[in-house]
């Protein structure tokens, strides 16, 4: 009987350790976990970090008042990051159920290579395009995944670098959020007549 109790205890401890290790593997940026963290928990983290923030509607980008009953539902928070060298700001996007849908961190352009090296060792590589074009749908980016989370490092132009954390099913909704490619509107260069002979 003692052997059975010891065996059950050891098995229980192993299951707890395995489940703890599994959850620790999920991307968890500043204590924020997409698909899990609630609106209220996000606000607590912002207040604890002493990061000033403003909340907006997702569709019309209209500022949301602190007393508005719809805050945290289909909205996003824009915050500047304090005392974080290389990181400029963070955007937190919420679902209609007040759960964190996505995180976008804006960074200094020179952070691209450093962040890429850091994330290469942590997550599984999906796609790498280091020869992209600025302001197009073919921008420079690296995409990783962990569990059901996509992590994409984006270099949208020489001066615009950001990092996206989002669930795979919502990736298409957020990968271009607040960024519009200008490919269709780019002027074609005028070709001199002599080029016809090439």
> What is the SS3 assignment for 98?
coil
Q: Please give the residue range of the domain that contains residue 97.
A: 30-178
Is residue 103 within 8 A of residue 92, CB to CB? The reply is yes
Kindly write down the DSSP assignment for every residue of 10-27, as one continuous string.
HHHHHHHHHHHHHHHHS-
Q: What is the pLDDT of residue 178?
A: 75
Distance in angstroms between the alpha carbons of the first and the last residue of the chain: 89
pLDDT at position 188 over 80: no
Query: At 93, phi and psi to the nearest 5?
Result: -110, 135
Residue 107, in any domain of the structure: yes
- 187 within domain boundaries: no
pLDDT tens, position by position, 117-168: 999 989 999 999 999 888 888 899 999 999 999 999 999 989 999 999 999 9
Q: Taking the CA of residue 27 as centre, how many other CA atoms within 13 Å lie in the half-sphere pointing to its CB? A: 26
Whether 72 maps to a domain, the answer reads yes
Total domain count, the chain: 1
14 lies in a domain? no
Backbone angles phi, psi at 22, to 5 degrees: -65, -45
Helix (H) or strand (E) holding 116: helix 112-120
Tens-digit pLDDT profile for residues 36-95 = 999 999 999 999 999 999 999 998 889 998 889 989 999 999 999 988 999 999 999 999
80 within a domain of the structure (yes/no): yes
* pLDDT of residue 181 exceeding 80: no
Q: Say what the pLDDT of residue 26 is.
A: 84
What is the pLDDT at residue 164?
97
pTM: 0.79
């Amino acid at each position: 009987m003692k052997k059975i109790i010891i065996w059950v205890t050891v098995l229980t401890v192993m299951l707890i350790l395995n489940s703890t290790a599994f959850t620790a593997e999920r991307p968890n940026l500043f204590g924020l976990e997409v698909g899990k963290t609630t609106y209220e928990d996000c606000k607590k983290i912002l207040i604890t970090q002493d990061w000033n923030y403003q909340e907006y509607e997702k569709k019309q980008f209209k500022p949301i008042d602190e007393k508005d009953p719809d805050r945290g539902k289909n909205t996003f928070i824009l915050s500047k990051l304090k005392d974080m060298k290389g990181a400029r700001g963070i955007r937190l996007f919420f679902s209609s159920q007040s759960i964190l849908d996505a995180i976008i961190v804006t960074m200094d352009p020179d952070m691209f290579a450093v962040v890429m090296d850091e994330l290469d060792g942590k997550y599984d590589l999906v796609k790498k395009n280091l020869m992209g074009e600025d302001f197009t749908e073919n921008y420079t980016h690296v995409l990783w995944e962990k569990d059901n989370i996509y992590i994409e490092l984006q270099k949208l132009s020489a001066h615009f670098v950001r990092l996206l954390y989002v669930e795979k099913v919502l990736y298409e909704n957020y990968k271009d959020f607040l960024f519009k490619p200008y490919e269709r509107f780019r002027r074609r260069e005028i070709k001199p007549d002599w080029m016809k002979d090439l």
